[in-house]
Chain A
């Protein structure tokens, strides 16, 4: 049964920043809801309101059948009683406690043997065996993240709240742990809300996504929907990616990958570990439009298509091209006039291999490791 989350909160901060967020989500047993937005957009504040660490001035928060917060009825359930697992951006591990001590910290009300069992279970789940007696300061960033997750899940929360779970890690570790985190969140069978400003994370981790900007929820939907069909200029600017398609890697050699997208082949730069199922992401500003039959360029991908829609964005124009799939391009008004682009015009869309980003899209079954 889906866990329903209803949130409608307002909070004003000194300096004029206001959070005014309305969000309703039906979260399945392992649904991951992404709160996506640039830094300073208020997504962390929203997460903290869910955790009970920040108190909105008005509104209400309900989770499943329980009211966590209601300004009118003066209900504000303290964080201790919300049954959430919360992980802050810097993991907040207790420096005076060992790894096992950190995990045991929140299990005080359990009997000793049950507590021991839960600690062992969490250590095994996050593959932390052997590190029990280490202090947080002795661990790598990736290990610290796993301890923080183990600590959060040991209490069997009914909702996991993760604030930028990967941002404290260096780039190679982050790429590696992204898929691992996805597998873990699926395996836990606990709905989670994940804050991020990284579109790859949103695509890899998210089932649902809410775009937050200036304290407001601008759009909700699956990450793919939001990326492909931003509902306005603000969302388009925030997400940056305007084409996100499901594809399959069919060939990989010398750092170049050939990806099949609905019958069309695209060349992308990529590492072997992403495939075979991927999201193919293309920024609209990386797409170059040329008249049909133009000379060869250094770009590796040339797609013949027809203009489907021309939409003004002020100085720039968004052109949607049907080339077997729908591709968004952003060009100047002058280019539209030079190429006489209007719905139906045949056009060639080009992009360099480096502009085609591949993001792993794995089925849950293939990534869950015992």
Chain B
């Protein structure tokens, strides 16, 4: 028997994470791609950190950062009335940070591919920088933007360590599919775990299939510098 509640929580989390990353990731990627600041690599390295950090380390720092003893945590508690850790919102913040490179890197790679002379041509045609982004750069980067969106969605589906650290394991709120599988295995319910695991495997495969089909000949995850 599959845990549909866990699947529903996971899909909501992944969808919201991908949408937030579209809003947050596009400006960051624009800056990463177009800034000529010489210390830019410092920021690029920070964005890439979640790729190499163990999820427990990332989860630990996020937990501390949003916990009741941090300024952010206190502010949130004052405004909303309850603390962030072990809530869906807290989990969403953690997911966004955890999947940040999976959105920003494909976005930035796509922006890098846009010929700078086209952008200059747009400026001399009187189109503002913002106008140039929406009329020229974004349409030319559709494949990269969709890739970043889909990859951050897929990456969120499979997160485990960060969820456990920040979200806990609350049925219907923060218990995602990967945690559910872990619970089933702990309870020696291999049949239930197998069904949910297969579900996650098929969905993830289909998502990656769509990304690679869209970016044929392109290694989708990493920027081509």
Chain A residues in the interface with B (C-beta under 8 A): 51-53, 78-82, 84-86, 88, 90, 92, 94-96, 105-106, 108-109, 151-152, 155
**Contacting residue for B124 out of A79, A94, A96, A109, CB 8 A:** A79
Chain A CB count within 10 A is highest, among B122, B125, B136, B139, for B125
Cβ-defined contact, B124 with A85, below 8 A: yes
- For A90, the closest partner residue in chain B by CB is B117
Cβ-defined contact, B120 with A88, below 8 A: yes
B136 to chain A: closest CB distance in Å?
6
A83 to chain B: closest CB distance in Å?
8
8 Å CB contacts to A: which residues of B91-124?
115, 117-118, 120-124
Alpha-carbon separation in the docked complex, A109 to B121 (Å): 17
B215 is an interface residue with CB less than 8 A from chain A: no
Alpha-carbon separation in the docked complex, A128 to B136 (Å): 23
**Apart from A86-B120, A155-B126, what are 7 other A-B pairs with CB-CB below 8 Å?**
A80-B124, A80-B126, A88-B117, A96-B136, A96-B140, A106-B122, A152-B124
Cβ-defined contact, A53 with B120, below 8 A: yes
B131 is an interface residue with CB less than 8 A from chain A: yes
Across-interface contacts of A86 in B (CB, < 8 A): 120-121, 124
- For B122, the closest partner residue in chain A by CB is A105
- Interface contacts (Cβ under 8 Å), in number, total 58
Given A90-B117, A92-B115, A92-B118, also A84-B124 (CB < 8 A) = yes
Cβ-defined contact, B127 with A53, below 8 A: no
Given A88-B117, A90-B117, A92-B115, also A78-B123 (CB < 8 A) = yes
B82 is an interface residue with CB less than 8 A from chain A: no
8 Å CB contacts to A: which residues of B166-180?
none
The 7 closest A-B pairs by CB, nearest first: A106-B125, A86-B124, A92-B121, A79-B123, A92-B117, A79-B124, A96-B139
Cβ-defined contact, A94 with B128, below 8 A: no
Chain B residues in the interface with A (C-beta under 8 A): 115, 117-118, 120-128, 131, 135-136, 139-140
Chain A CB count within 10 A is highest, among B123, B131, B136, B139, for B123
B129 to chain A: closest CB distance in Å?
9
Across-interface contacts of B136 in A (CB, < 8 A): 94, 96
Alpha-carbon separation in the docked complex, A95 to B136 (Å): 9
Alpha-carbon separation in the docked complex, A51 to B121 (Å): 10
Across-interface contacts of A92 in B (CB, < 8 A): 115, 117-118, 120-121
- For A78, the closest partner residue in chain B by CB is B123
30 contacts between A and B (CB under 8 A): A51-B124, A52-B123, A52-B124, A53-B120, A53-B124, A79-B120, A79-B123, A80-B124, A80-B126, A81-B126, A82-B124, A88-B120, A88-B121, A92-B115, A92-B117, A92-B120, A92-B121, A94-B118, A94-B136, A95-B140, A96-B136, A96-B139, A105-B127, A105-B135, A106-B122, A106-B126, A108-B126, A108-B127, A152-B124, A152-B125
A167 to chain B: closest CB distance in Å?
15
B142 to chain A: closest CB distance in Å?
9
Alpha-carbon separation in the docked complex, A86 to B122 (Å): 10
**Contacting residue for A106 out of B117, B118, B127, B139, CB 8 A:** B127
Across-interface contacts of B128 in A (CB, < 8 A): 80
Cβ-defined contact, A109 with B126, below 8 A: yes
Alpha-carbon separation in the docked complex, A84 to B139 (Å): 25
Across-interface contacts of B140 in A (CB, < 8 A): 95-96
Cβ-defined contact, B139 with A80, below 8 A: no
Cβ-defined contact, A151 with B117, below 8 A: no
A216 to chain B: closest CB distance in Å?
25
Across-interface contacts of B131 in A (CB, < 8 A): 108
Across-interface contacts of A52 in B (CB, < 8 A): 123-124
Chain A CB count within 10 A is highest, among B118, B124, B128, B136, for B124
Alpha-carbon separation in the docked complex, A94 to B123 (Å): 13
- For B119, the closest partner residue in chain A by CB is A92
Across-interface contacts of A108 in B (CB, < 8 A): 126-127, 131
Alpha-carbon separation in the docked complex, A53 to B117 (Å): 10
Alpha-carbon separation in the docked complex, A52 to B122 (Å): 13
Alpha-carbon separation in the docked complex, A105 to B126 (Å): 9
B79 to chain A: closest CB distance in Å?
40
Cβ-defined contact, B118 with A80, below 8 A: no
